[in-house]
Structure 1
């Protein structure tokens, strides 16, 4: 018996020592370096004239998408805004609840709250997506902290700017840059699922997975440059129309030379008061067609794809 107790005593002593239990699922997440001490908590004004602070009011403990625009931009910014509008539609009511979108002006001298409000109305931006302006120096500081400022490109005299979009979850410190011309489905998935650590269940199955085929150069151009504002025979009946006209049949409805120039320099054509350019501008909420810097090869590829889709979709099913 004595021998047995001598053998059990060390075991009992070990069991009686305090032990460190693994953290429970309710344990708070570790502090992230992307906290209040990192972000400049600059004051900003919303399109409704309300003052907010960047960290405290806009991003703290939130999943967000942030980009920088200016309303006088005639090329990339409108396309970028239209792409985010698609993302907002895909996310639905979650925008403003557990996902927030912010577009901050890099031209605060001209982009007053009232100007931003008109811009939001033109694009049909829904609640949960806030447009903001503020002091130029503060906004530059913010862009630098987010890694969205390029020395050498931006010298204070030019409004050229980094087009990257940054998305992240401030609470977990997970941030990533993305192209604003990325597929809206990919951007929506990152905001809704990966940045939320896939907390919301999805009903997708293998049977629902789409077939993937390599797109042509023309289709790539359409999907990255045009589909934000236009449909191609896929407009939903009764739905709010797109930002621009449907492009199905456009290669047969417009003069080829006019189309080529329109894709290359729509800003110049509008400035010259081209009758059709002015008509489209007035019909579509005075939103100017952006200059997408397309070269001859890109224009040819894009028009070729539009014609192919027109042929495919307008051919009677009996002839297919």
Structure 2
């Protein structure tokens, strides 16, 4: 056993043992340096959360994580509420994975007005769940961050206009896989990318699919396309098909029967003006649905007509009575009713 004690006291082995932590750290640094999407690419921009907590963009928000990042401002009256509503649907589809292995970040492009308090009020209006952080910071820092992420429109954004790039950036910092997506995409597709593709993209699919088993695809009407890309972020149509949850606005089944068409046309074209003018019905809806303003979708006459036609057609289809058909049970009950009592 003496040879074991002699080896254990060997200066060479003691030196090797002392170097193991260094080698491990060096190997980790080499792996980090091997990806172009590491800390040398992403700025470590200082930001502040809706809870007033200071964070760093790379170190605290995206390092080693699967993330979805968009840029908004809380006073927006058109695209930002739709983006937020759509991502809220994605969050509901992913469930408690948000905050565990998927993280959402919405960064304000109007930090002068979007204080942590304003961001927290915005989050409460939309009832955003855990794992979704709203952030503000210095205007110049946020502009530089947007440029580095490819979410800044050169020549169009001058600081005064709030028109901005509406792309959603999703990615996995560990693997270096990043992509831009439309925030108005189907919530199920976005959830699948965040919850599946970005985690397992190097693994081959075991499912064998062939074109012979592909279902027939029905081409949606222009009105249905508008509903699914614009309206379904906030509204359902007779059921919870869209993201499996109640909308943050009223269900639209039967709306063309319940509301005056002229009022609906104007509401779809200029809801912001109707709210500013305190239209009674517009104000009632505003108060009833958590003081969330109907966004201006910038629809033209042709689009409004197509959307209303689709809503009317879907209402008629869903509310149509089921055709009367005989069955074994109903026939038996009818026969039994025809037999006089006592027989």
| TM-score interval, smaller chain | 0.7 to 0.9
Please say if residues 236 and 246 of structure 2, whose CA atoms lie closer than 8 Å, have aligned partners that are also in contact.
Answer: no
Deviation at 1:205, TM superposition (A): 9.6
Q: 2:305 aligns with which of 300, 306, 318?
A: 300
1:84-111: CA deviation from partner (whole Å, max 9, x where unpaired)? 0011111111111111010000000111
Question: 1: distance between equivalents of 2:104 and 2:62?
Answer: 10
Please say if residues 269 and 299 of structure 2, whose CA atoms lie closer than 8 Å, have aligned partners that are also in contact.
Answer: yes
Task: Give structure 2 stretches of 5+ with no counterpart.
Answer: 1-29, 326-343
- The 3 A distance-change label for structure 1 pair 85 and 205 is farther
Please say if residues 193 and 199 of structure 1, whose CA atoms lie closer than 8 Å, have aligned partners that are also in contact.
Answer: no
Please say if residues 235 and 246 of structure 1, whose CA atoms lie closer than 8 Å, have aligned partners that are also in contact.
Answer: no
How high is the TM-score relative to the length of structure 2?
0.80
How high is the TM-score relative to the length of structure 1?
0.86
Deviation at 1:153, TM superposition (A): 1.3
RMSD between aligned residues:
2.5
What is the DSSP-based 3-state SS (H/G/I as helix, E as strand, rest coil) of the residue aligned with 2:225? helix
Larger-gyration structure (1/2): 2
Q: Which residue in 2 is equivalent to 1:253?
A: 258
Please say if residues 44 and 132 of structure 1, whose CA atoms lie closer than 8 Å, have aligned partners that are also in contact.
Answer: yes
- The 3 A distance-change label for structure 1 pair 76 and 319 is farther
Deviation at 1:185, TM superposition (A): 1.0
- The 3 A distance-change label for structure 1 pair 293 and 214 is same
Deviation at 1:199, TM superposition (A): 8.2
Q: Which residue in 2 is equivalent to 1:38?
A: 41
Q: Which residue in 2 is equivalent to 1:151?
A: 154
Q: Which residue in 1 is equivalent to 2:127?
A: 124
Q: 1:213 aligns with which of 207, 212, 218?
A: 218
Q: Which residue in 2 is equivalent to 1:83?
A: 86
Please say if residues 193 and 200 of structure 1, whose CA atoms lie closer than 8 Å, have aligned partners that are also in contact.
Answer: no
Matched, 1:114 2:117: yes
Could you say which structure has the higher helix fraction? 2
Matched, 1:93 2:87: no
Deviation at 1:212, TM superposition (A): 3.4
What is the DSSP-based 3-state SS (H/G/I as helix, E as strand, rest coil) of the residue aligned with 2:283? helix
Please say if residues 249 and 306 of structure 1, whose CA atoms lie closer than 8 Å, have aligned partners that are also in contact.
Answer: yes
Task: Give structure 1 stretches of 5+ with no counterpart.
Answer: 1-26
Please say if residues 32 and 38 of structure 2, whose CA atoms lie closer than 8 Å, have aligned partners that are also in contact.
Answer: no
Match runs of 1:128-207 below 5 Å: 128-197=131-200
- The 3 A distance-change label for structure 1 pair 142 and 253 is same
- The 3 A distance-change label for structure 1 pair 103 and 277 is same
- The 3 A distance-change label for structure 1 pair 174 and 283 is same
Deviation at 1:235, TM superposition (A): 3.7
Please say if residues 89 and 245 of structure 2, whose CA atoms lie closer than 8 Å, have aligned partners that are also in contact.
Answer: no
Question: 1: distance between equivalents of 2:214 and 2:33?
Answer: 36
How many corresponding residue pairs? 292
Q: 1:309 aligns with which of 297, 305, 314?
A: 314
